[in-house]
């Protein structure tokens, strides 16, 4: 896989300082994170970062360096700087950084937000994962030959087999990192900046407007997520529900007691459809969570209608 990606494992303080200094020279950075149950309740083990001017992916070994990487190592300053940072679904990554390492990521650009704003059908209420979107990008852009795509897929299959029920994501604590995990960790992040360029309009004015919209929506998404109570932030099903339709959207989640889910949805979805019609908000219910998206007044109206339905007496 060396022909596809060049990596440098950063596991000493000096290496960390040198890598951060180099990355500060970039206008844009691509960032991905690996960890054990990656969230505010888990552990950040590896932060992968690359810039546009170099073909090297820096793998910051947080499991080894711990908070020294963010303090003396300079990572906190970099992540909180004005250098643009491209993620694909920044929620878990930035939530872990914020709650575990007191890092408040700034100047974020979420490619999942870009996809939702520019390409996703308005009636599609579920987010598109990186696996699907990366496959589309590789197919449309043709930046890899078919043989290279097959090597990428084969490597991912090999690593996925390591995530056994017994160990799961704990393999990210293994040191030294195996060559297989090193290659795997760098695979996706190396394409993020190319994805951003590929989907950016050629018209300069349109490109500037899109970047402003995506960055604004990405920052709101980040701020909302890190402020969620733990039970909502760690609720996996709700993360699949689309939370961005328009650049100025806001969103809220409402937990629906199991005994009231049927009442909130209504026969053949009539009640939830009535909430959408009366409020103008997008509403999607999955498991025991309702995700409400729209303009602030629309969201507030929909939330109140849902709460009222939850509170109704069973005999009404």
* Strand 84-87 relative to strand 28-36, pairing: parallel
Based on the fold, state whether residues 254 and 124 are members of the same structural domain: no
Does residue 290 contact residue 263 with C-beta atoms inside 8 Å?
no
Report percent pLDDT > 90 for the chain. Answer: 71
Based on the fold, state whether residues 211 and 265 are members of the same structural domain: no
Q: Can you name the residues that pair with 30 across neighbouring β-strands?
A: 50, 86
144-194 pLDDT, tens digit per residue, is 988 988 988 899 999 989 888 888 999 999 999 999 999 999 999 999 999
Does residue 261 contact residue 288 with C-beta atoms inside 8 Å?
yes
CATH number reported for the structural domain that contains residue 270 in this entry: 3.30.1370.10
5-37 pLDDT, tens digit per residue, is 799 999 999 999 999 999 999 999 999 999 999
Based on the fold, state whether residues 204 and 253 are members of the same structural domain: no
Q: First and final CA of the chain: distance in angstroms?
A: 64
pTM beyond 0.85: the answer is: yes
Based on the fold, state whether residues 205 and 258 are members of the same structural domain: no
Based on the fold, state whether residues 216 and 106 are members of the same structural domain: yes
HSE, side-chain direction, 13 A CA sphere, residue 3 = 7
pLDDT at 245: 84
pLDDT at 4: 66
For 256, the domain range is 249-311
261-308 pLDDT, tens digit per residue, is 899 999 989 999 999 999 999 998 888 888 899 999 999 999 999 999
Does residue 60 contact residue 66 with C-beta atoms inside 8 Å?
no
Q: What is the mean pLDDT of the chain?
A: 92
Average pLDDT over residues 210-220: 95
Tell me the two tokens of residue 78: 């970099």
């Amino acid at each position: 896989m060396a022909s596809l990606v060049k990596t440098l494992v950063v596991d000493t303080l000096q290496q960390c300082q040198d890598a951060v200094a180099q990355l500060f020279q970039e206008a844009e950075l691509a960032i991905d994170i690996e960890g054990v149950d990656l969230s505010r309740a888990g552990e950040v083990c590896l932060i992968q970062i690359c810039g546009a001017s170099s073909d090297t992916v820096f793998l910051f070994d947080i499991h080894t360096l711990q908070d020294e990487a963010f303090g003396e190592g300079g990572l906190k300053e970099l992540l909180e700087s004005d250098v643009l940072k491209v993620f694909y679904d920044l929620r878990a990554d930035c939530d872990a950084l914020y709650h575990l390492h007191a890092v408040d990521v700034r100047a974020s650009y979420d490619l999942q937000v870009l996809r939702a704003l520019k390409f996703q059908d308005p009636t599609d209420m579920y987010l598109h994962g990186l696996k699907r979107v990366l496959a589309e990008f590789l197919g449309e852009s043709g930046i890899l030959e078919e043989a290279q795509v097959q090597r990428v897929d084969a490597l991912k299959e090999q690593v996925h087999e390591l995530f056994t029920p017994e160990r799961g994501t704990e393999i990210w604590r293994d040191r030294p990192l195996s060559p297989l995990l090193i290659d795997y960790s760098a695979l996706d992040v190396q394409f993020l900046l190319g994805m951003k360029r590929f989907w950016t309009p050629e018209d300069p004015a349109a490109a500037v407007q899109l970047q402003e919209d995506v960055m604004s929506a990405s920052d709101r998404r980040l701020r909302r997520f890190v402020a969620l109570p733990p039970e909502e932030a760690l609720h996996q099903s709700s993360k699949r529900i689309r939370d961005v339709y328009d650049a100025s959207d806001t969103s809220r989640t409402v937990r629906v007691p199991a005994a009231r889910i049927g009442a909130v949805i209504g026969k053949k979805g009539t009640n939830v459809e009535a909430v959408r019609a009366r409020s103008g908000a997008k509403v999607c219910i999955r498991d025991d969570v309702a995700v409400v998206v729209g303009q602030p007044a629309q969201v507030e109206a929909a939330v109140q209608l849902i709460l009222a339905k939850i509170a109704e007496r069973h005999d009404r």
